[in-house]
Structure 1
Amino acid sequence: MPTLHEPKLIAGNANLPLAETIARRMSLHRGVDQGLVDARVERFNDGEIFVEVFENVRGEDMFIIQPTSNPANDNLMELLIIADALRRSSAQRITAVIPYFGYARQDRRTKARTPISAKLVANMLTGAGIERILTMDLHAAQIQGFFDMPVDNLYASPIFALDVKKQFRDQMDDLMVVSPDVGGVARARELAKRINAPLSIVDKRREKAGEIAEMTVIGDVKGKICLIVDDICDTAGTLCKAAQVLMDNGAKEVHSYITHGVMSGPAVERVTNSVMKSLVLSDTIQPTAEIEKAANIRIVPTAPIFTQAILNIWNGTSVSSLFEDKTLTPIYESLYHMD
């Protein structure tokens, strides 16, 4: 049944380039101008966030594009306040497109007297009037259960698989997918299945938070081109140490595929000076100028999959279909066509 309301995109300040690219792709798909809704998101002198929407959104299907990346608290508040402004302006439905879901690492109590901040954020998003979440590679899949609303969790592994098949098309038999810890095995296995490669694990033991005492490679990586797969790269300490351990165990080369490039503090310098030949990040978090200048860091776009997912939500069609190569490959064809 045809929908009577129009999809409209609005963005905070967290990742405007991604939002603008999604808007351009939607314009191409729909054959109509699909610019971002005209609005201003500003701060008072004391840091308070103020939002004003200049277009009529009554009865419209609204999509707010806003990762909650650094500064996480400011970007989260922008998202909440935009949602409140839209709800009070009688938008028909509000979907939060959160490419990177901040606070996802606090998804359980690891010790006494600690919060479950991911659940708190879920409650805040619900209270702001958001009715659906679209995100990518949640740090913990069970966070979907924190919401009493639909949560569409896209995966970067199909995009990474296309990139791997393009970049390593003559070396596919030499590839080994590596999980940098036991907790990420499911994510790494998903990519390994897509490219038909074996799987290895780097087991790490921590003496205390942020400090790794020992790393052990489970699996034979000798002579292999190792692809480390993870969802978040923050300070890059674990990643660079894992790459060194793999090389020490006889790996031929080490490359990394990370969904969310948080890249705090010395991360870029560490990656630049590491044994890794390349680090591939998605653009769920807007890359800094330092990241873009780094010789061994590449960015792969997520706008094609987010655009299609938004259109599928608006049309009431399947989002999970985007996990299949036959569906995803055509929308990335211009980037990953095989010679």
Structure 2
Amino acid sequence: MKIYSYDSTGSKSLVDYEHFTFSGGEEHVRFNSTTFSDSTKIEIFERLTNSSKMVRLMIAVDALKRLTNENTPIELVIPYFPYARQDRVCVEGEALGAAVMAKFINSLNFSKVTIWDAHSDVSPALLNRVTNVEQISLLARCQELSQRLSNGELTLISPDAGASKKTIKISEKFDGIPEVIQAQKVRNLKTGEIVKTEIIGDVKGKSVLIADDMCDGGRTFIELAKVLKNNGAVEISLFITHGIFSKGLDVFEGLIDKIYTTDSFKPAYEYQANSKIDLTVIEM
């Protein structure tokens, strides 16, 4: 967790603070009371990727409010919104995870909450005073990818209906030069397994870019890449905002040539390289 203090001139400085975890698992955060004497705004940046970080955030906010008598606005930047994929109740007896997480964040009463490339419209709708940084704004920070899209080198592939709107926005950003081809997947509703992937368009001889918000184990993109290769795609690239890659990059060997992601889920230095896949982490 990084905490920044802004002074009256708008200057931003990184705050040092004490943090440790007690043997019983409790999180402890302590700030220097003089640090925020001239602070006009506090900003917290955190990747909320586990429960300990969520508790630490809650403890830190309480400490900051006590120090500032709740007179200094506190903003939160969480690039990856946890539980975003749990934006509906699919089976009776399950929780609506996105709503639970939004309630937790809203209870801390931030003056502003910033997330990156929300999985769906549900998360931004549930959060108070939220700014959702769109995928296209993040992709545009990668000069190499922007150049290839702007000169028409890459054909955009939308992996499913849910990603279609975002993929079209990317094409529109580059004046409609990149062609957009829609893919669709069929799942077994009982097991969740992808049983079929189809491409509605011609990719023969083309370099393609699959764009989506999140990659966990990668099964969707593996199956899609197989179909793209079988249909004649000569180069397959993948742009993912939130690169979890829980099974590593090895699962993409021989299928995906280049992967682009941001540092929303973890810092760039934590990603494990693969000699056969060109990985670019866009540091924001």
- Whether TM-score is above 0.5 comes out as yes
Shift of 1:216: 0.7
User: What is the match of residue 270 of structure 1?
Assistant: 251
Q: Within the alignment, does 1:197 sit opposite 2:178 as a pair?
A: yes
Aligned mate of 2:59, from 81, 85, 108:
81
Letter in 1 for 2:196: E
Shift of 1:31: 9.2
Shift of 1:111: 2.5
1:101, 1:93 → 2: CA distance?
Answer: 21
User: What is the match of residue 105 of structure 2?
Assistant: 125
- Greater per-residue helix proportion: 1
Shift of 1:54: 1.7
Shift of 1:85: 1.6
TM-score, L = length of structure 2: 0.86
User: What is the match of residue 142 of structure 1?
Assistant: 122
1:128, 1:158 → 2: CA distance?
Answer: 28
When the two chains are superposed, the root-mean-square deviation of aligned CA atoms in Å is 2.4
1:268, 1:86 → 2: CA distance?
Answer: 40
Go from structure 1 to structure 2 and tell me whether the alpha carbon gap of 1:132 and 1:258 turns closer, same or farther (over 3 Å shift): same
1:267, 1:237 → 2: CA distance?
Answer: 12
1:216, 1:117 → 2: CA distance?
Answer: 31
Q: Within the alignment, does 1:283 sit opposite 2:269 as a pair?
A: no
User: What is the match of residue 176 of structure 1?
Assistant: 155
Q: How many residues align?
A: 271
> Is the contact between residue 37 and residue 55 of structure 1 (CA under 8 Å) also seen in structure 2?
no
Aligned residue runs from structure 1 range 1-339, under 5 A:
12=1, 34-56=12-34, 57=36, 60-69=40-49, 72-90=50-68, 91=70, 92-147=72-127, 149-161=128-140, 162-166=143-147, 168=148, 172-195=151-174, 196-207=177-188, 208-264=190-246, 266-271=247-252, 273-287=253-267, 291-295=271-275, 296-302=278-284
SS in 2 for 1:78: helix
Residues 43-72 of structure 1: CA distance to partner in whole angstroms, max 9, x if unpaired?
111221111112443663111100212xx2
SS in 1 for 2:53: helix
Once the two structures are aligned, what percentage of the paired residues are identical?
27
Letter in 1 for 2:183: V
Structure 2, unaligned stretches of length 5 or more?
none
Shift of 1:98: 0.5
Structure 1, unaligned stretches of length 5 or more?
1-11, 303-339
Residues 122-144 of structure 1: CA distance to partner in whole angstroms, max 9, x if unpaired?
11112223232011101112322
1:86, 1:228 → 2: CA distance?
Answer: 42
Shift of 1:289: 5.3
Letter in 1 for 2:161: V
Shift of 1:188: 1.1
Residues 110-164 of structure 1: CA distance to partner in whole angstroms, max 9, x if unpaired?
22222111111111112223232011101112322212x3101112323424442
1:55, 1:277 → 2: CA distance?
Answer: 51
Go from structure 1 to structure 2 and tell me whether the alpha carbon gap of 1:131 and 1:209 turns closer, same or farther (over 3 Å shift): farther
SS in 2 for 1:250: coil
Letter in 2 for 1:233: C
SS in 2 for 1:285: coil
Letter in 2 for 1:140: S
> Is the contact between residue 84 and residue 129 of structure 1 (CA under 8 Å) also seen in structure 2?
no
Letter in 1 for 2:13: G
SS in 1 for 2:119: coil
Compare 189-198 and 289-298 and name the one that shifted more: 289-298
User: What is the match of residue 315 of structure 1?
Assistant: none
Letter in 1 for 2:136: S
SS in 2 for 1:103: coil
1:253, 1:77 → 2: CA distance?
Answer: 44
Residues 272-318 of structure 1: CA distance to partner in whole angstroms, max 9, x if unpaired?
x242110001011224756342242111122xxxxxxxxxxxxxxxx
SS in 2 for 1:193: helix
SS in 2 for 1:129: coil
1:189, 1:279 → 2: CA distance?
Answer: 20
